[in-house]
Structure 1
Amino acid sequence: MTQVRRRFVWEIDWNLLRTFTVIVQEGSLTAAGDKLSLSQPTISNALRRLEEHMACRLIDRSSNYFRITPAGETLYKECMAMLAIVAGLPELMEKDQNHISGHVDMAFASHVECPFLDTFLADFHKAHPRITFSTTVSSSRSAAEAVLNNEAALGIFLAQEKRHDLEYTLLYREHFGFFCGPSHPLFQRRISGFDEMRRLDYVSFKTDELSGALAPVAALRKQEQLCGKIVGQFTNLEEVKRLIKAGFGFGPLPIHVVAPDVEAGQLWQIPPYTNPPSVDVYLVTKRTTRRTRAQSTFLAALSAAIDATPLESRTYPQPVGGLTSAEV
């Protein structure tokens, strides 16, 4: 280590890095002050001192403008990596190394419903009861950013585009069907094809496009010329389902996820009844990152469980005699 770098390490106030991390996460100096119970001048002074140490601008800001610079983005990612290391120190100090403790942050898309994953989590908790978990639910894009920024050890979401710095493992496959609500003109009607659907209003996800994560659904719409007015687009499954139930239009939903709504008479499935479009949901991790013992143990166990379970057993709805439950 050079003399300059050695002096930097010993002179830097590590609290400045923590404060900077909170500023970025909160999106403003005022919000960061509220989070840390510090005044805005104190937060501003901490940011100024850190920028002096780094000899570069980290955040471009004014009274109505706030933007992280490229240097600030790089520093933020490194700060998150350092925080992950600090968070793992207690478990490294434990006397009983046979009992792993620690915490695992996860980032999920809004409609992750996977019996295989639920069973795995139950078994893992029995084996490692001292490991705790937390989950944030957001769009697939936001979940990917959380993994990239080391805010989450793993993500489970649809892959609209695969990034080279993330690793993708197919966790499960789900089939989408089209559904309508009780006030819709097609409710409780078993129509034979798509003719009656072509001009009807439509509700869907923002990724329901040929270049998006729901490309198979978009391709089916294009193939069958379903060109009704789009009256709502969301990133959250619950909001899509809410408007479909309210009669705004028909739209795509994972068949196995909404099976209880269909059984309760709140949703009705319309074509296609056979060969519904399928979408893959991935376990996503960062390729190069330092993990805590708890994170490594969890990911190793989940990867092993995926490898040991055929994709057919991780496909929903479960096949019945070679067909999905939507086809029988």
Structure 2
Amino acid sequence: MPDGFVRREFDWNLLHTFVVIVEERSITRAANRLLLRQPSVSNALKRLEDRLGQPLIDRAPGRFELTDAGRILYRECQHICGAIGRLGHLMATGRTEVSGHIRLLLASHVVFPPLNAVMARFHAAHPLVTLEHEVARSAVVAQNVLSRQASAGIGLVASPNPQLRYRPLFREHFGFFCGPSHRLFGRRDLTAADLRDEPFVSFSTDTPTDALRAIALLRAHHGLTGRTVGTSSNLEEVRRMIIAGLGVGPLPVHVVERDVRDGLLWRLPPYDDVRGPGGPAPVDIFLVTNPRTTLSQAERLFLTMLNAHADTAPGGFFVYPAP
């Protein structure tokens, strides 16, 4: 295909759709993220493949792999989409009052009061700046920051990318919980041994080599070998399955304090008075930034304020529950 034809006739929105499909590794999840119907996303992929004259993704039941052409296109698209998306924000830096747009990607249900405080202070000081928060899997958070489609991200880290910077913001501790209909609900005489054969609900990244490896290690330490009956990458959906009584499962202790008070969840051992390999699972949450990204004035001010607030914590990051 002649280069001139591509530049004149090409629908550049197809590239953004392709990037989201690759990041989500699913047409369905990409459609949900783009707020589109699944057939529209499938048709966009087909139009892109037809326009380029070659397949980009090898899809079959249980299989999702980029072709060689797909890998090349994805690598280039990350920089193209990121650069296009940031043009408007960078052009706002010449105004007298601070304005612009900040796009922040977060892992699901990040409960971090200092972030709320920083947002309130920042908005009071710079009311013309708009904020966009998007919830995504931690791997997608990092991909968007790497491709410069997001100002920054907040999430878990499985394998650090040498091209990104990671600043620990807080450490949360995961305990095990069950819902009101579960046979262990309300019992205070339990030990971790009582959970060994219980059906389990957990996160997709609860493996020894992924972001929530601390939970996998805690399960192994206590011999919790019950069958896994439900998984999700979204904290709210894991919480839903636990409350529904599908099985016991891990949740951040400080995130679900209100649910425990309201009788929706019951805390199971090991309890938070235990520290060491058999205690609640510690998981660090990071601020992810890209040193190669040219930040707008608004983005610089916001991240400076967030980092300064985190610096006030003992050791440079917060711990929940507080020691």
TM bin (shorter chain): 0.7 to 0.9
Partner of 1:60: 56
1:80 corresponds to which residue? Answer: 81
Contact 1:147–1:286 at 8 Å: present in 2 too?
yes
Q: Which runs of 5+ in 2 are unaligned?
A: 22-26
1:12 to 1:305, Cα distance in 2 relative to 1, 3 A: farther
Match of 1:116, SS? Answer: helix
Stretches (4+) displaced over 4 A: 10-17, 25-28, 43-48, 61-68
Partner of 1:103: helix, strand, or coil? Answer: strand
TM-superposed deviation, 1:135:
1.4
SS at match of 2:245: coil
Q: What is the identity, as a one-letter code, of the residue corresponding to 1:147?
A: V
> Are the counterparts in 2 of residues 58 and 71 from structure 1 also a CA contact under 8 Å?
no
Indicate conservation of the 8 Å contact 1:139/1:235, yes or no: yes
> For each residue in 1:64-91, what CA deviation from the matched residue of structure 2 results, as whole angstroms up to 9, or x when unmatched?
9986633312321221242144213541
Letter in 1 for 2:93: L
User: What does residue 191 of structure 2 align with?
Assistant: 193
Q: Which residue is 2:24 aligned to?
A: none
Q: Name the SS of the counterpart of 2:79 in structure 1.
A: helix
| SS of alignment partner, residue 301 of structure 2 | helix
Per the alignment, in what secondary structure is the counterpart of residue 69 of structure 1? helix
Per-residue Cα deviation, 1:236-264 (whole angstroms, up to 9, x for no partner): 11111111111111110000111111010
- For residues 225 and 82 of structure 1, the distance between their equivalents in structure 2, rounded to whole angstroms, comes to 49
Which of 134, 137, 140 aligns to 2:135? It is: 137
SS in 2 for 1:282: strand
Indicate the percent of aligned positions where both proteins have the same amino acid. 36
State which of 18, 27, 31 in structure 2 corresponds to 1:24: 18
In the alignment, structure 1 residue 308 sits paired with structure 2 residue 312 = yes
TM-score by length of structure 2 reads: 0.80
Q: Cα–Cα, structure 1 residues 204 and 84, in superposed 2: closer, same or farther, change >3 Å?
A: same
* CA-CA distance at 1:195 after TM superposition: 1.9
Root-mean-square deviation over aligned CA pairs: 3.3
Change in CA separation of 1:169 and 1:58 when aligned onto 2, cut-off 3 Å: farther
SS of equivalent residue, structure 1 residue 279: strand
Q: Quick check: 1:81–1:290 contact (8 Å CA) kept in 2?
A: no
TM-score (norm 1): 0.79
Preserved contact between residue 168 and residue 282 of structure 1 (Cα < 8 Å): yes
Query: How many Å apart are 1:17 and its aligned residue?
Result: 7.6
Q: Give distance in 1, aligned partners of 2:7 and 2:180.
A: 61
Q: Which residue of 1 aligns with 2:167?
A: 169
